Amino acid sequence: MSKSSQLFTQAQAIIPGGVNSPVRAFNGVGGSPLFIQRAEGARIYDVDGNAYIDYVGSWGPMILGHNHPAIKSAVLAAVENGLSFGAPTEIEVIMAQKVQAMVPSMEQIRMVSSGTEATMSAIRLARGYTNRDKILKFEGCYHGHADSLLVKAGSGALTLGQPSSPGIPADFAKHTLTATFNDLASVEALFSEYPEEISCIIVEPVAGNMNCIPPQDGFLQGLRAICDKYNAVLIFDEVMTGFRVATGCAQAHYQVKPDLTTLGKVIGGGMPVGAFGGKLAIMQHIAPTGPVYQAGTLSGNPIAMAAGLAALNEIDKPEVAAQLSASTKQLAEGLKAAAARQNIPLAINYVGGMFGFFFTDQAEITGFEGVFKCDAERFKQFFHLMLAEGVYLAPSAFEAGFLSTAHSSADIEATIVAAERCFAKLA
């Protein structure tokens, strides 16, 4: 029995399902999860000494690859000064200035400790600012696990077949309206029904929690126009897309300016960080300036800020976005060609440093319905075949894949060659 399997048995006795976040349990693909000992560059190493080319990247933050030297040394230097003060620090100011410089729509920024906190706080702020209760989200989009956002959600909620969760009072969920991603008519219909009750639209500008679904031309622009028409707040949840789709996030790539933006894991460089920010007039409603309460003992933690700032300083170099896009294209086009050679119907979406592939003969996947028509069984087989080849993919057909600048052209080529062997076995 492998050490991973032994640890999983022990873990299940003491941690629900053996994991501290559900998708890690491999429920979406079957089998038992790998326990990871360390990671470096494009590779993770399990406790049994196996190496894998990693396309999960800690679910997104590892844009520069694992254990990047600049981030590691920034963390080690910060540790020398103490771990947490619960009082303002200079690095919080420098970090906020850095985020603002890279994402100009974020005129003011508040740090939090996770993506869930960022979206939950942004929603509260939008409600407080507009004095309206309802929010509008999209089916299959995931914005963390706050009560009002765990309705028809993607990611782990989809993998477990629980689009929403017991424990959320119907009285809360009734304020969450869900529309169809890439379908402006579904959004307009809800606003026509509740013209003065919807506080905000929250959207992943590239949906990354129902696999990878880019916005169709005009979709994000249309959301902007609808929010302007009905005086609602437009929130881009860039927890996944932030600094990965483009240096200035998806909002720069698609040239649409949201009122509020939420950021997460990426700005911690691997440490627990999130942030929300946006228009000054809205952000002024947050305590202590305004009446909308929001707080966090460890918010702006100095070690996390040091890691995040070091990460952003690197990510801001122009070659990073160019390399991420080129590598993602190499992988996506290579997989597509390999699948075609083996007569395996495969669709691929990619943008910036994120991608998703679908076992389907549909020409294009543009939304939730299309994702569900894909062959999930085939994905499970492929996942395990690739794992045996030393390639670590997200253990669910509903998650996007991520590249880093540490993935070399040779790593990507090796992945494509391995994938072709796996496609041949599926055929």
Report the interface residues with ligand PLP, using CB under 6 A: 59, 114-116, 119, 142-144, 155, 204, 208-209, 237, 239-240, 264-265, 274
Smallest distance from the beta carbon of 149 to ligand PLP, in angstroms? 8
For ligand PLP, the closer of residues 25 and 419 by Cβ is: 25
For ligand PLP, the closer of residues 92 and 238 by Cβ is: 238
Q: Report the catalytic residues.
A: 142, 237, 265
The answer to whether the CB of 254 falls within 8 A of the CB of 96 is no
Residue with the CB atom nearest ligand PLP in the bound state: 115
Q: Would you call 213 exposed, middle or buried from its count of C-beta atoms within 10 A (0-12, 13-18, 19+)?
A: buried
d(CA 290, CA 303): 28
Smallest distance from the beta carbon of 72 to ligand PLP, in angstroms? 21
Smallest distance from the beta carbon of 407 to ligand PLP, in angstroms? 20
For residues 104, 106, 109, 113, the Cα torsion angle rounded to the nearest 10 degrees is -100
Q: Which amino acid is at 147?
A: D
Smallest distance from the beta carbon of 135 to ligand PLP, in angstroms? 14
Run of H or E including 387: helix 376-388
d(CA 58, CA 142): 17
Smallest distance from the beta carbon of 204 to ligand PLP, in angstroms? 5
For ligand PLP, the closer of residues 138 and 423 by Cβ is: 138
Residue 6, both tokens: 């032994």
Run of H or E including 356: strand 354-359
Smallest distance from the beta carbon of 360 to ligand PLP, in angstroms? 23
Give the residue among 12, 115, 68 at the shortest CA–CA distance from 320. 68
For ligand PLP, the closer of residues 136 and 412 by Cβ is: 136
Beta bridge partners of 236: 203, 261
d(CA 54, CA 58): 9
Residue 117, both tokens: 């906190």
Phi, psi for 157 (deg, rounded to 5): -60, -35
For ligand PLP, the closer of residues 116 and 199 by Cβ is: 116
Q: What is the DSSP string of 125-187?
A: HHHHHHT--EEEEETT----S-GGG-SS--THHHHTT-SS-TTS-HHHHTTEEEE-TT-HHHH
For ligand PLP, the closer of residues 31 and 272 by Cβ is: 272
